[in-house]
Amino acid sequence: MSNSNDREFVIKALVNTGMSRNTSKVFTYIAMNKGTTSEKIEREMCLRQPDVSVSVQDLYSKGWLNRVSIKGTGKGRPKYLYTLSKSFKDIVSEIEKAEKDKIKQIESNIKDMKSSELYSKS
């Protein structure tokens, strides 16, 4: 599988877990590039700066990103180098656990509905 096919496969799978498409694209790009700047993400993934910022903040709040300040040229916004704070496998394990927890909750909800009087009367 080529890099772009693999990237799209992972992005689609992440979107199917409920992650936004933009956040999935940012996460996958950082994972595949072992460290990058928001400017590179914007350019390579065809995303706008605000979309990258929102996605980076989401990933950072989950504890999945490291952010290291890097020296920029002149004044302006601070620049950061983003890397995964955990291995891709560990993050996928976290996602897997969350998805399994969702399944358990859905099964419990269905069981509760089936045990209701309304269900037994129909």
Backbone torsions φ then ψ of 84, nearest 5 degrees: -70, 140
Buried b vs exposed e over 73-98: b needs ≥16 C-beta within 10 Å? eeeeeeebebebeeeeeebeeebeee
Higher pLDDT, 95 or 4: 95
**In this predicted model, what pLDDT tens digit does every residue of 36-88 receive, in sequence order?**
999 999 999 999 999 999 999 999 999 999 999 988 777 777 789 999 999 99
- Report pLDDT for 121: 83
**Among candidates 92, 25, 44, 33, which has minimal Cα distance to 64?**
92
* pLDDT exceeds 90 at position 3: no
CA atoms of 6 and 3, how far apart (whole Å): 5
The fraction of the chain above a pLDDT of 70, given in percent, is 98
* pLDDT exceeds 80 at position 122: no
